[in-house]
Amino acid sequence: MLNIVIFGPPGSGKGTHSVKLAEKKQLYHLSTGDIFRSQIVNKTILGLEAKQYMDKGALVPDDLVIKVLLSTLENQKDAKGFIFDGFPRTIIQAQKLDDELNKKGIPLKLVISLKVNDEEIIKRLVKRGIDSGRTDDNEAVIKQRIDVYNKQTAPLLDYYTRQNKLLCIDGFGEIEDIFANICKIIDENIK
């Protein structure tokens, strides 16, 4: 089973490349952001709770995210593998994910980090907010999300480096070129 984390700051292209990679490698794309946005649209209790955090640019609490993730994993028993998009976002989430996957005998194989500078992130997300109407894609919230990423999520770079699972890719450029680099690095590191 091939389990991969696509990692990077907001607006780095995680979602775009995760969807493409899931299709190419026939993996289940697991996006906690998409799951929570669906819950918000459907006005579930979980969605309304998550929305309070997301609207401020804050991370949804670990226990809430992990509960949703484990439920999704259990419902996809026939998957050939998973692409985790936007998860984990904290060391606690990473440790819990490792524990659960190791218990099942299906550990993470790779963590791919997309590197993009703050200026490009703001430009991309403001445009996405205009195009999609996402309320959390305004400049003030984007800057808060970048700050949260740098404080709470960026430490995962060291966590996965110590496990020899982290591979970094420049996330700036044409989507097809970045995707080709992602596929190449996976093929070179997964035999």
Phi then psi for 69, rounded to 5 degrees? -60, -50
The percent of residues above 70 in pLDDT, for the chain, comes to 100
Q: How many CB atoms lie within 10 A of CB 128?
A: 17
Q: Is 14 a catalytic residue?
A: yes
- Could you read off the pLDDT of 18-47 as tens digits, one per residue? 999 999 999 999 988 788 888 889 998 878
**Residue of 14, 51, 124, 165 with catalytic role:** 14
**Residue of 51, 124, 145, 165 with catalytic role:** 145
Residue 145 in contact with residue 38, Cβ under 8 Å?
A: no
**Structural domains counted in the chain:** 1
Which residue has tokens 């993996």?
27
Please compute the mean of the pLDDT values over residues 62-72 and round it to a whole number. Answer: 79
Distance CA 10, CA 21 (A): 18
Average the pLDDT over each of 27-31, 51-55, 72-76, 119-123 and give the range with the smallest value: 72-76
Q: Domain range spanning residue 16?
A: 2-189
The letter for the amino acid at 121 is I
Domain with residue 11: its CATH number is: 3.40.50.300
Q: Is 134 a catalytic residue?
A: yes
Q: Is 145 a catalytic residue?
A: yes
pLDDT confidence band for 173 (50 / 70 / 90): very high
pTM: 0.83
Distance CA 118, CA 4 (A): 24
Q: How many CB atoms lie within 10 A of CB 99?
A: 10
What is the model's pLDDT at position 62?
Answer: 84
Q: Which of 157, 132, 184, 166 is nearest to 15 (CA)?
A: 132
Which residue has tokens 């590191």?
189
**Residue of 25, 37, 109, 128 with catalytic role:** 128
DSSP secondary structure of 65-125:
HHHHHHHHHHTTTT-SEEEEES---SHHHHHHHHHHHHHTT----EEEEEE--HHHHHHHH
- Could you read off the pLDDT of 103-148 as tens digits, one per residue? 988 899 999 999 999 999 999 999 998 898 877 788 888 999 999 8
